[in-house]
A and B are shown apart, each in its own frame.
Chain A
Amino acid sequence: MEILVATAVGLLTSAGIYLILRQRTFPVILGISLISYAVNIFLFASGRLVVGLPPILRDEAVAYTDPLPQALALTAIVISFGMTALIVMIALSAYLSDNDDRIDMDDVSDLQDNDA
């Protein structure tokens, strides 16, 4: 199971990094989403992987899983969800204002824009 989780994290991260290095905003946003999924799984695994054990106190339980990483992952999910929504909105308005969704800003053409 460790191998499975580790490969998942690795694959998601590398795919995410590849997408972030693209020129347009849409793949970059997808890449950020992928990396944030990767980090959520990574956080979840940081409390050691166990199967079928409860995270909270129970009378019949023999052992427990660490509940804290689950709380951390939840927080991280909420935050990354909000951030993704926000960046989609900002990217959309940037696209609508210029009809261009390149992520990099060309300084030379910008200066010419200012002159005009």
Chain B
Amino acid sequence: MSHWIILPIVLPALLAPFILMVIRHHLDLQRIFSVAGTVALLGIATGLLAHAATGDITVYELGDWPAPFGIVLVLDRLSALMIVLTSLLALAVNLYAIGSGWDARGRHFHALFQFQLMGVLGAFLTGDAFNLFVFFEVLLIASYGLMIHGGGKRRLQAGVQYVVYNLLGSTLFLFALGTLYAVTGTLNMADLAVRVAELPAEETALLRVGAVLLLLVFAIKAAVLPLHFWLPASYANAPLPVAALFAIMTKVGAYAILRMYTLVFGPDVSVTQGLVGDWLLPAALLTLAVGSIGVLGAREIGRLMAFAAIASMGTLLVAISLFNPQATAAAVYYIVHSTFAAALMFLIADLVMERRGGEIIAQRPMPQTGLIAALFFAGSIAVAGMPPLSGFLGKLLVMDAARDSDQVWLIWAVILISSLITIVGLARAGSILFWESHDAAHVREPEPEPEPHEDEAEVEIAPKAPALPVVACFLLLSGLIALTVFAGPMMDYASATAAQLFAPVDYLDTVLRRTP
């Protein structure tokens, strides 16, 4: 049996205590090990992706216990893609945190960072519902530490809210799992799928309760309206590079919805048929609408980006809630896009915040305005879904997939109008931040700095502003560009992923060791 599958969990799990216990007083060593670990993770993830791309489903039985009795890790196309996505994001965020010095503003940044990665990757790999809960807790407890990294009054208050909200979510998760176990007698996802399909119709009332409770839990994680209240305050007050890493956490919720409601409560299961799609679609449309209105109304750049992230989750969940292969393929494409785009926007927000504070008002111009404005412009195009970047393709795919739905006009209207509102909101924020600043300075100071030419700005700013944060931003931006340029191969992979998700027989056979 190949042990490669468990490496993405073991590597950060060993690295984090090592950083914590052996090199806790050596920031440089911590940085080196953390980046090296993330790069190694990316390598492993790419290898796993290459393996999963052949269509094989690989199972890793922990302790060699066969499936319904022991915990299994399962690698299929979807989980492999999510792992690669996580490690790419982690690399960019790590470089940014080092370059901007965020990791030195509190203690144990890199240890918490690695624990967070362990939880996220574990959640993507596990094939057991209770194990999913455990990995959720691992990623949450690390995120609590990261969220209040650096301290400060407002951040701690926001941290308390965030922790309380997520603790309630965890309790709800346990109630859901208890209900499912009471009905089916198993928590292995593959075994659950088999038992749920076999359950007689009169015993399914509790099962429906369990399914809806579970959906609520994942909806909290994915920040679906009306369960999104934790997100703006938390993300806007967290250190913004950490918020960029948290871009993957909402995707964990989306991934869990996609996994559980294709595998266990799939479209063919009669007892829960229509249950999820009927509830999720209106909620997703509302999420999208409120997210874009929030973008328009935000007075602070952190909240602006948080609402942009909510809006992109809305689009993603519209695609997921349609529950057909074409829409799911679009969702898989959009997951990748929206993770990169949201993270990029949070990093840019941090660049702005470090230079001139978070409020969206006209102030004196900041150093490197041209460069940051260009990045903001590119990021906004991606987030709002304008051509030529991948957000446009993603939204086009989602809308194309919605064409057969009964509510096609509603879906199209909400997506298009909210895109327009988002564009207006981002344009407003961008022009206040980057253009009005110059005007305001012009009024106050008769001799403002000359328009920064590329070379001059470089020479002047270079000793003050390190290049690494900008490199990290460009890494994410190049991810978006690659996603646009290689949209064809990417869509082939996404379609294959959707096909695999909607034909779970392979998954069940492999995990339960049935011979087909």
Residues of B within 8 A of A15 (CB): none
1/0 contact string of B17-37 vs chain A (CB within 8 Å) = 000000000000000000000
Q: How far is the CA of A14 from the CA of B13 in the complex (A)?
A: 38
- CB within 8 Å for A35 and B171 given contacts A90-B159, A103-B161, A114-B359: yes
Q: How far is the CA of A73 from the CA of B40 in the complex (A)?
A: 36
B245 is an interface residue with CB less than 8 A from chain A: no
1/0 contact string of A17-59 vs chain B (CB within 8 Å) = 0001000010011001001100100110111100000000000
Interchain CB contact under 8 A, B157 and A94: yes
A72's nearest neighbour on chain B, judged by CB, is: B130
Q: How far is the CA of A66 from the CA of B187 in the complex (A)?
A: 14
Select one of A32, A45, A48, A105 contacting B171, CB under 8 A. Answer: A32
Interchain CB contact under 8 A, A28 and B156: no
- CB within 8 Å for A79 and B144 given contacts A28-B164, A46-B182, A97-B156: no
Interchain CB contact under 8 A, A110 and B154: yes
Q: Within the complex, what minimum Cβ distance (angstroms) separates B192 from chain A?
A: 14
A36's nearest neighbour on chain B, judged by CB, is: B171
Interchain CB contact under 8 A, B154 and A113: yes
Q: Within the complex, what minimum Cβ distance (angstroms) separates A52 from chain B?
A: 21
Interchain CB contact under 8 A, B157 and A105: yes
A113's nearest neighbour on chain B, judged by CB, is: B154
Residues of B within 8 A of A48 (CB): 182
Interchain CB contact under 8 A, A105 and B158: yes
How many residues on chain A are close to B (CB under 8 Å)? 39
- CB within 8 Å for A46 and B179 given contacts A20-B168, A35-B171: yes
Interchain CB contact under 8 A, B156 and A94: yes
- Which A residues between 61 and 102 are near B, CB-CB below 8 angstroms? 66, 68-69, 72, 75-76, 79-80, 82-83, 86-87, 90-91, 93-94, 97-98
Select one of A20, A25, A80, A105 contacting B233, CB under 8 A. Answer: A105
Residues of A within 8 A of B178 (CB): 39, 42-43, 45-46, 69, 72
Name the segment of B145-153, B325-333, B363-371 touching the other chain: B145-153
Residues of A within 8 A of B163 (CB): 83, 86-87, 90
Interchain CB contact under 8 A, B167 and A32: yes
Interchain CB contact under 8 A, B167 and A46: no
B134 is an interface residue with CB less than 8 A from chain A: yes
Interchain CB contact under 8 A, B160 and A97: no
Q: How far is the CA of A65 from the CA of B163 in the complex (A)?
A: 35
Q: Within the complex, what minimum Cβ distance (angstroms) separates A82 from chain B?
A: 7
A3 is an interface residue with CB less than 8 A from chain B: no
Q: Within the complex, what minimum Cβ distance (angstroms) separates A41 from chain B?
A: 10
B179's nearest neighbour on chain A, judged by CB, is: A46
Q: How far is the CA of A5 from the CA of B426 in the complex (A)?
A: 54
A4 is an interface residue with CB less than 8 A from chain B: no
A111 is an interface residue with CB less than 8 A from chain B: yes
Interchain CB contact under 8 A, A83 and B161: no
Interchain CB contact under 8 A, B153 and A97: yes
- CB within 8 Å for A90 and B160 given contacts A42-B175, A111-B299: yes
Interchain CB contact under 8 A, A79 and B134: yes
B412 is an interface residue with CB less than 8 A from chain A: no
Residues of B within 8 A of A75 (CB): 130, 134
B137 is an interface residue with CB less than 8 A from chain A: yes
Interchain CB contact under 8 A, A98 and B157: yes
Interchain CB contact under 8 A, A72 and B177: yes
B141 is an interface residue with CB less than 8 A from chain A: yes
Interface centre among A29, A39, A94 (most CB of B within 10 A): A94
9 example contacts (A-B, Cβ-Cβ < 8 A) are as follows: A39-B174, A72-B177, A72-B187, A75-B134, A83-B137, A86-B144, A90-B159, A91-B160, A105-B158
Inter-chain pairs besides A93-B156, A97-B152, A103-B164, 18 sampled, C-beta below 8 Å = A32-B164, A35-B171, A43-B174, A43-B178, A68-B187, A69-B181, A75-B134, A79-B137, A79-B170, A80-B171, A82-B141, A83-B137, A83-B141, A86-B144, A87-B163, A98-B156, A105-B154, A114-B300
